[in-house]
Amino acid sequence: MAIHWYPGHMHKARKEMVKALPSVDLVIEVLDARIPYSSENPVVADLRTKNGYTKPCIKLLNKSDLADPATTQAWCDAFEQDRNVKALPIMATQTGQVKPLIAACRQLFPDRKLDKPIHAMIMGIPNVGKSTLINALAGRMIAKTGNEPAVTKNQQRIDLGNGIVLHDTPGILWPKIENENSGYRLGCIGSIKDTALDYDDIGFYLVEHLLEAYPSLLKQRYDITNLPSEPLHFLEHIGANRGCLGAGGRVDLVKICTIVVNEFRNGTLGRISLETPEMIEKEMIEVEKIIKEKAEKKATRKKNFKKKK
């Protein structure tokens, strides 16, 4: 990913969205189906609420072709506990996905007449498939896919028919950082610049999860009957099998990790999700502690600063 998020960038992105949102009825948040929690940004919930009214939101779990279908369904159910939210698994690379999205938009505004269009805006962190989706919805190439600057240009509108109008520039959000696991998972799917997280770090994290959650996919892909329980033993085993050897005939762990991570990313290992609602529920307890500590530190800093003045 080309975008590095600094506080200044986040501030600017947020300001752009605050400016655009009053003319929008509905937020379409694009997530990566393999990490629906870690690819979310809590600022969306924040931005949607003003003067006690919360704008409805459709959460699209994109790249569902790469994710575990049962887990994706569990996430949709969890998201829809909020009555203001509709959640749909999609695959933006398949243009036939438009119809369920249009129907979901209309469902959120049952009383809206066709001659008063529903204005929608797409948001999401980089690389989740926002541009691909806009192009699929528009039926033509209007948004550049791949890397793009964080600053949006002049907003234009796309008429999707059925009384729905879409802004053609997505709101680009920054990935969240409080949960350490989220950082690793974003690294696994390739949405954090590879140099920021080493392949062996990501690889060990990924393999630990796969050994626990998808042992049969590993057995199948790497042709092993007795799976070692330790990520290191597993990586050494398949590294040796594949001839990933370095100095002194030892397994080159970076090389074998890179292979496994890429096979996960492109779907060769099978359809895999990196987090479930239950896993996140447990992690949230830890995250809330960190957020609280951060807020306390900030408050102390402010107090000390005032004292000095």
Rule CB under 5 A: say whether 72 interacts with Mg ion: no
Which is nearest to 206 in space by CA: 183, 227, 174?
183
- Pairing label, strands 118-124, 164-167: parallel
> Which C-beta is closer to Mg ion: that of 21 or that of 128?
128
64 vs 152, beta carbon nearer Mg ion: 152
**Binding partner of residue 162 among Mg ion, ligand GDP, none, CB cut-off 5 to 8 Å per kind:** none
Contacts of Mg ion in 101-130 (CB under 5 A)? 130
Judged by beta carbon, residue 47 or residue 91, the one nearer ligand GDP is 91
Token pair, residue 221, equals: 């892909």
Q: Write the binding mask 131 to 170 for Mg ion: x where contact by CB under 5 A, - elsewhere.
A: x----------------x----------------------
Q: Which does 48 bind (CB under 5 to 8 A by kind): Mg ion, ligand GDP, none?
A: none
Structure tokens at 236: 């050494």
* Contacts with ligand GDP, residue ranges (CB under 6 A): 62-63, 65-66, 91-93, 124, 126-132, 145-146
Sign of the four-CA dihedral 177, 125, 19, 86:
negative
CA distance readout (Å), 209 to 32, 201, 214, 217, 242: 17, 13, 8, 12, 21
Least distance from Mg ion to the Cβ atom of residue 164, Å: 20
157 CB contacts (<8 Å, ≥6 apart)? 119, 165, 166, 167, 168
Other Cβ atoms within 10 Å of 284 Cβ, number: 14
Supply the minimum distance, in Å, between the C-beta of residue 32 and ligand GDP. Answer: 9
Of 145 and 262, nearer to ligand GDP (C-beta) is: 145
